[in-house]
Amino acid sequence: MAHDLKDVEIEKAQFVFSVYDWEGTGQMDAMDLGNALRALNLNPTLDLIGKMGGTQKRGEKKVKFDEFLPIFSQVKKEKEQGCYEDFLECLKLYDKNEDGTMLLAELTHSLTALGEKLDDMELENVFKDCMDPEDDDGNIPYGLEVNSSSKVNP
């Protein structure tokens, strides 16, 4: 079923799958399905992840690589995925000075209260890994830092 994937895409999928095969059993926890797909530069919604077999709790279900490839292929074809540019356009709405910065408080609110909300741990990880310190006015740059978090290459 994954016949429409190129060899290089299958290799990347194998690498990402191996990263999420925590126990080395050839299986990935279905809770990690969304993160694995995001590591392959896809942006599935939580709803789509659920439809593809992702779970909310660790240990509920395991996914083998031969099950993962068709999921990757299907999600890759999905039209309704946001991209970096879409996210950036949303953040520009909060850029009052039109200088590539926004208030940290507004970013925090946007990420935890709107759309597919981040929990406190996810928010902390995003801020730790992707964000410059806020300036004296409480502003942070919002451009390249977001992009750097969206790609993982083997």
User: How would you write 6-31 as a 3-class SS string?
Assistant: CHHHHHHHHHHHHHHCCCCCCEEEHH
Mind listing the pLDDT tens digit for each residue in 22-71? 999 999 999 999 999 999 999 898 889 999 999 999 999 999 999 999 99
pLDDT at 32: 97
Tell whether 32 and 66 lie within a shared domain: yes
Whether residues 72 and 115 share a domain: the answer is: no
- Do 58 and 90 lie in one domain? The reply is no
* Residue 151 predicted with pLDDT over 90: no
Of 56, 77, 98, the residue that ends a domain is: 77
Per the structure, how many domains does the chain have? 2
Residue 144 is predicted with a pLDDT of 52
* Distance, first Cα to last Cα, the chain: 24
Contacts of residue 126, defined as CB under 8 A and 6 or more positions apart, other chains included, come to: 111, 118, 149
The 10s digit of each residue's pLDDT in 129-146 is 888 888 999 999 987 544
Same domain, 13 and 72: yes
| 138 neighbors 28 (Cβ within 8 angstroms) | no
